Amino acid sequence: MTFESIIGHERQKNILRRALTNQRIAHAYLFEGPDGIGKRLVALAMARALLCTNGTGCGDCTQCRKVDHNNHPDVHLLDADGASIKIDQVRGLQKDLALKPLEGLHRVCLIDGAEQFNPAAANALLKTLEEPQPHTLIILLSSRPESLLVTIRSRCQRLPFQRLPKQRLAEVLANRLELGEVEANVLAALSDGSFKKALGQNRELYLERRRELIRSLSALSSGSIIPLFKLAEELAGDKEILPDILEIFQAFYRDLLLLIHGRPQTDLVNQDLQETLHRQVAQETTESLLRKLRALETGRYHLQRNVNRQLAMETMLLRMNAA
Ligand SMILES: [Zn+2]
């Protein structure tokens, strides 16, 4: 992984490149921004550039290869063990950091999901940040930096990362996945600038399954109660991706609102479902769509509170149906 091979994040990469060239690397960085947009890749590229024998992150030397294979003894990766990062993990890290680097001149420590420190672990880490070791670089990655201790944040050089612009993501996806323009646009819009989502299991969900789900949803308005319960059961069975499915429904209703208000096709997410959209929009008003969106929001709220999933989905669909 090199800075060059990572798409986007030009400003952030330039800051890090300059720090490397001028040998003015901070002791600790905090990479902040949404999950799945490439913060970890940039951190690994930084590690490689720092540890590379040729000082460039060449990709050919033993050091670079070890970083790429996740087996460099001077690169430490820390992330949540269960629900949180625990004090034993930080103590283990501190032990390693107290020693000289094993292979090169530097140690690099990557802490992913840094908002997950439990309080004791956070205080232990603070000690490490307050007494920086020479030749040690710590990079914290977080999608919720506001949850970190202020004292931790203030010890780090903060580097905000943004989602890739939708258009840019669509171009890259079209290229990499050999998708047509419309499909690439759909995938980019639903992935919300996250490569991880677009390239992972959500790809199938966003492209093929989305069409089925929206068809089932739009068939409900005219249908009997049986299909509604069947759809609720299907949704309840998809625990892992249910939040993403509800986002798909939200995008569908949002598309209908945009259509009612005469926005151009290019603003829509479901550009490949023109027929379904136009059939549905004829039956809707702004008010009915807002009621549906509210029902969706309530459904989402209930799911986050671990209520009976099936019941929550039935209630949500019934309310949408009546809207
Ligand atoms: Zn190298």
Task: State how far the Cα of 167 lies from the Cα of 188, in Å rounded to an integer.
Answer: 8
C-alpha dihedral sign at 94, 96, 100, 103: negative
Distance 23 CA to ligand 1 centre (A): 17
Domains of the chain, start order? 10-160 (3.40.50.300), 201-322 (1.20.272.10)
Contact between 138 and 50 under an 8 Å Cβ cutoff? The reply is no
CA of 39 to the centre of ligand 1 (A): 21
Mean per-residue pLDDT, 24-37: 94
Q: What is the pLDDT of residues 81-102, one digit of tens each?
A: 888 999 999 999 999 888 888 8
Distance 57 CA to ligand 1 centre (A): 4
Q: What Cα–Cα distance (Å) separates residue 22 from each residue in 17, 18, 242?
A: 9, 6, 48
pLDDT of 168 higher than 90: no
**313 contacts 220 by C-beta, under 8 angstroms:** no
Determine the distance separating the centroid of ligand 1 and the alpha carbon of 48, expressed in angstroms: 7
The alpha carbon of 76 and the centre of ligand 1 are apart by a number of angstroms equal to 18
Residue 137 and residue 122: Cα distance in Å, rounded? 17
Ligand 1 centre and the CA of 95: distance in Å? 27
The helix (H) or strand (E) run that includes residue 141 is: strand 136-142
Q: How far apart are CA 245 and CA 238, in angstroms?
A: 9
Dist. CA 161–CA 105, nearest whole Å: 28
- CA 256 to ligand 1 center in whole angstroms: 52
User: pTM value?
Assistant: 0.78
Region 17-30 average pLDDT: 94
Judge whether 3 and 49 are in contact, CB under 8 Å.
yes
Cα of 59 vs centre of ligand 1, distance in Å, is 5
Indicate if the pLDDT at residue 211 is higher than 70: yes
Question: pLDDT tens digits for 127-142?
Answer: 999 998 888 999 999 9
Whole-number pLDDT of residue 221: 66
CA of 101 to the centre of ligand 1 (A): 17
Check: CB of residue 40 under 8 Å from CB of residue 70. Answer: no
pLDDT at residue 222 tops 80: no
Q: If you measure from the C-alpha of residue 38 to the centroid of ligand 1, how many angstroms do you get, rounded to a whole number?
A: 21
CA distances from 104 to 42, 108, 133 (A): 20, 11, 15
DSSP annotation string for 237-303:
H-TTTHHHHHHHHHHHHHHHHHHHTT--GGG-S-TT-HHHHHHHHTT--HHHHHHHHHHHHHHHHHH
